[in-house]
A and B are shown apart, each in its own frame.
Chain A
Amino acid sequence: MSALSADLRVADRDVEVHFTVHPGETLALLGANGAGKSTVLAALAGLVRPEGTVRLADRVLSDTTDGTRGTWVPPHDRGMALLAQEARLFPHLTVRDNVAFGPRSRGGHVRRSKNQARDDAERWLAEVGMTAYGDRRPRALSGGQQQRVAIARALATEPQVLLVDEPLAALDVESAPEIRDLLRRVLASRTTILVTHEVLDAALLADRIAVLDAGRIVDSGETTRVLSRPRSDFGARFAGLNLVRGVAHGQALRMPDGRLLHGLTEVPIADGGRAAAVVAPSAVSVHLEAPHGSPRNTLDATIVELEPHGHVVRVRTDLLSADITAAAVAELGLTRGDRVVLSVKATEVHLHPA
């Protein structure tokens, strides 16, 4: 059974999508700017009125197909919290009151008393590591701190579905990894729709990815599948990314077969902790035998497929994919089933907790 299913059209933005999200799952809507991702989120949240239907568990949130008047549940009654690109903390409230806003504002029996809401706020501030800032005004916080508070504020409403819109786009390079790590933790068991143009975010946070191009979903499936074997040219160009899972071992990832992939970590990962390495196909070189000099990583692999993508050919192997020119493919005489040696600089391998 699905937690959320949507079959919606927003005519004036030329967006028409159909997808479902399972309970506890994170679905990433991945696409370039202007692909219609935010429109989809706004339609789900009830901030714009789409045609078609949106269902949350057994509730119909909006439906224009069930008769002349249709069904429409207003934003405040949907049980969906929206986490936007900018934190959008209410400037006139303290950090604590921002987080307590949701619990205090809900209608009916779920509405919390002032003290309960305050307790909720403290709990969620602790969860995002912002306990010390409860009495501050949002303006006194850094971008990363504001985004932490925004996450706490959204979660404090205990939403059935969390809508996340480019949560790291407005952050500087230093705070982005921390917030990504925080999101990874809090999204783990929550039904979430994450909108992003950043392949890395989708790779690390999502269980499934739907690739959005010009208002249509052109590919969707398991995160690893969409990233490693994209079914559309657009997806391949846009979403091509090597994602290798394993456990942390110093400044390297131990792959399931025991080999090490050396790289750089942005946030500390404990040895033995679950981790993922992300490598762009353009950073991987293909050799017939082990190259001279020593790139940190040289790994034996077998070619599975050769796929032309525009000016490059993607060489898919049983380990990593590599993007090389057609001329190089011809020069090396590569065919399916060939044994090759792949090399990647350690600086091109990004290690993340997973």
Chain B
Amino acid sequence: MNVITQLLPSKSISYAVRTAAAACALLVLGACGASGAADTRSDANSTATQSSSSPAQERTLTVFAAASLQKPFEEIAESFEKAHPGVTVRFSFGGSSGLVAQLQEGAPADVLATANEPTMAKAVADSLVVETPTPFVSNTLQIVVPADNPAGIATLTDLTRADAKVVLCAPAVPCGAAANSVEKSAGIDIKPVSEEQSVTDVLGKVRSGEADAGLVYVTDVAGANTSSTGAEVKGIDFPEAKSAINIYPIAALKSAKDAGLADEFVAAITGADGQKVLRDAGFAAP
């Protein structure tokens, strides 16, 4: 072990030790307990404890939130941490369905914010949340095109043109479901060249010019262009978007270690300061 310690950066050691520990767990699981394993295991345990022990007085709040919320939530968390000394807010941003799936598998978290209500409903159905979730913002779809709009897209109907390469989210993910209901209410049928996993992937395809247009949320277009790269994509509003307004709900989780703190974070999001940050990011009132 000494030799390895000298050769590898401490972080790699920690990974190696954790992998070894996992392997030992497998060994025990496989009922293959060998005499040599005991040493390794105690080693691994002590190191694992060390690496996860943080100053005792600090509290950590873990928030699972939809990817589209990343920027405003991080901003709100900063002021939340200032207002609550000793509190660290940790985020896990991702696709809403994936986050709920992780919670169902027992991932420890305190607060959940999803990008639509059906996904939250799954968490409610599995009794993961404390109370009825609170809707805190809404988001609408916008047509996104490359800055030079090579296909000359102006309306939602333009997306059905045969010469326009359109990318959408897959119907299985919230932004795809929203696109579906917009199509339905407008009575049109868009033939996408690709159905992407997330809004980020749709944005990427449009930004690189591979696709002529896509349907993403207003906030995604705003987020794409506030970055240092300048205006690479352009958002086009369309009236049919009203038929698919997406409501974002937030809720404290039953698995929360500190229920009070979780409630306070939910309050920070739904409160005036939080709402202002979200509005600036392009979100609308629920």
Do A's and B's CB atoms come within 8 Å in the complex? no
User: Using a CB–CB distance below 8 Å, which chain B residues touch chain A?
Assistant: none
